[in-house]
Structure 1
């Protein structure tokens, strides 16, 4: 494919010849026989976005799930009405996502039975760590005697039973590529080898177009009530001994402190990652810089849940939440992601959140962590294996590109997925805005 009149982020207007990789970038390139031509018309062309932390199968399943948490559902009455009137899906299940206790407290099987008794119901907590099932659903997964129906996602014995149904990878792929994303890193914990192979096969046969990469088996989720420095250190040491970097899920200050201590004890790998870093005390900035780890974080949660943080987190700790600017200032490599489906899957929304840090009510959560638009965009351009190292549009780079309708100044001012005109993966047009 030849792209005519593309404007790069540095302001240059060029033509781009692209196949499996970018072959030429220059002026006045002429299309060869049989070569497709895309007229960018001065619009911005940039490397395809990479979403560095997602959960692909969960996101596909969430496409036909009801949202039962803020901002769409905020009261017990709204939850009751939605579930009471819900129509089960083709498999007979009522599936819901995004629940938070602010809606109707801590749900259990008894509470769900009062709303829906004759169809299996499963509700996923917005953290992704917990599912609540009614009695009918518990029977379907072989746990009819479970005391409360509150099940941990990490317990694969029952959760696998929920994942056996077909998920709509093709529709998820269409939505992802429409936002200019050409690659994703699946951060699902304990992802089995056959599940990774399945997604790679789906990519090769064109069902799932973004290039997939994976964190498993080097991904570890920590729970505050199970923090054990010695076992974490031993796990990190074992991963490194096998030549694998680690990616450690840290959403609390305690988890981050223990992870830093474990990395110091075990030694760090140049590709080690901290996932989320939702809370970073000032004292830990230098620790992270010294270790050389990359932080993959999600400021989109400020835009999605910021009002809850303002209400529930002590004001003295607001400055520690979802930091970006201070991490960069400390020379820590940072990349952004959406955590889809637990966060909204639009990377441009995440970019705007990094720039403005505006909560749903319009408040600003820690303006000191705002970054310029170009910085926010660049943090979605990293390589899959080195998220903090952005790719560029030049010969020899992968043939994965995002074409926008607007020139760089407008694109950076708006940071909106509606500007995506085309998405190219391996020189093939996989999305084109009609």
Structure 2
């Protein structure tokens, strides 16, 4: 988070709790190979020889490492459980992919979690949620530090788009917001967590705890869209998830990284248009990422009035991966930007932090000078506008 301190920046898609967790993890994001990465993990294990006094389900007994990308490692694969075991011995360890959607657990961690065997876990947020975490006050303080850094980089607003957010998570973020109230937080709610909101609805404020308010002032977050995170192997449930949100009167924000998921999303949103009985212009549904899109899909996004929140840095930071894994034709559909702007689609930039730093200068550079699909570049003035609050 090292952008020049220019007021008015908006990071419209990040994960504050994950940013806080990354700060207290072993950072392996610069490792070029599996041996290099495991050397960092092994060094951390040696540096934390005391497993703590709370047993193998105490937070201080565990080692959390974060930041590898299998597609960018020399081996082009995830580390195996055996390799992780050799580096960590009997310390329960979770090694997180840079996206946060994949993790490798060692045998000790699998045993503590009640698994029959350790494995590479894909989209198993239900299981990873059982990994011990620091206490609430420690987490609140860590999120507060993230917000202070955002403010120092010129951000005045952010949107937490975590699909596992429930009302307790929103209250925690509200407590943390008191540490840096100049950064306004909007927080999405997970589609399967709507029942935790009670009678709180879209656009309302959730406040923090009375104890935190007494200590450092009242914090709050605005309740945002319902986050729809389709299972990685079943786009067909998108329509069901949209229906759940519609029943509660919420707009949706759908995670769409590929053409098939985007198609299912557009079908669902067209079949179930939002109902807006209140006067004034409603806040539109959102597509998060829009990493691959056909021209006809972009036309449809424009016709349906859907907004797109995208991450320009991905196309430069992952250029090697895209060049290796996508055909020349697919590369032309990659992370559209100029095509969105030309169609009059509402676009905002974001980081997806901690996956990519919250650095508007990097976003602008990527958006104006990308080498993959260069026809999707935009000019500097447009790029800066898409970083700022509308």
Q: Does 1:85 align with 2:43?
A: yes
SS state at 2:65 partner: strand
Q: Structure 1 residues 130 and 45 mapped into 2: Cα distance closer, same or farther (>3 Å)?
A: closer
Displacement of 1:66 in angstroms is 2.8
Greater C-alpha Rg: 1
SS state at 1:81 partner: helix
Q: Structure 1 residues 209 and 199 mapped into 2: Cα distance closer, same or farther (>3 Å)?
A: farther
Corresponding position of 1:249: 255
Q: Determine the C-alpha separation between the residues in 2 that align with 1:192 and 1:57.
A: 12
- Residues 53 and 187 of structure 1 are in contact (CA less than 8 Å); yes or no, is this contact kept in structure 2? yes
Structural mapping, 1:256-405, within 5 Å: 256-268=262-274, 270=282, 271-357=284-370, 364-382=371-389, 390=390
Normalising to structure 2: TM-score of the pair?
0.78
Corresponding position of 1:226: 234
Q: Deviations over 1:193-233 (max 9, x none)?
A: 011011112213x26752211121411112342121xx422
**Higher RCO (C-alpha under 8 Å, 6+ residues apart):** 1
2:160 maps to which of 180, 186, 192: 186
Q: Determine the C-alpha separation between the residues in 2 that align with 1:267 and 1:278.
A: 23
Q: Determine the C-alpha separation between the residues in 2 that align with 1:200 and 1:170.
A: 10
- Where does the alignment leave 5 or more consecutive residues of structure 1 unmatched? 1-43, 358-363, 383-389, 391-434
Structural mapping, 1:117-128, within 5 Å: 117-128=89-100
1:74 maps to which of 9, 32, 50: 32
Q: How much is the aligned-residue C-alpha RMSD, in angstroms?
A: 2.3
- Residues 268 and 291 of structure 1 are in contact (CA less than 8 Å); yes or no, is this contact kept in structure 2? no
Corresponding position of 2:117: 147
Q: Deviations over 1:327-367 (max 9, x none)?
A: 1111111011000001222222112111111xxxxxx1111
Looking at secondary structure, tell me which structure has more strand per residue: 1
- Residues 123 and 232 of structure 2 are in contact (CA less than 8 Å); yes or no, is this contact kept in structure 1? no
Q: Structure 1 residues 158 and 45 mapped into 2: Cα distance closer, same or farther (>3 Å)?
A: closer
Q: Determine the C-alpha separation between the residues in 1 that align with 2:132 and 2:373.
A: 39
Normalising to structure 1: TM-score of the pair?
0.70
Q: Determine the C-alpha separation between the residues in 2 that align with 1:139 and 1:264.
A: 46
Structural mapping, 1:131-170, within 5 Å: 131-140=103-112, 142-143=113-114, 145-165=115-135, 166-167=138-139, 168-170=142-144
Q: Does 1:214 align with 2:187?
A: yes
Out of 267-276 and 304-313, give the one that drifted further. 267-276
Q: Determine the C-alpha separation between the residues in 1 that align with 2:267 and 2:349.
A: 24
SS state at 1:73 partner: coil
What is the aligned length?
327
Q: Deviations over 1:143-166 (max 9, x none)?
A: 2x3323333455335414344443
Looking at secondary structure, tell me which structure has more helix per residue: 2
Q: Determine the C-alpha separation between the residues in 2 that align with 1:152 and 1:224.
A: 9
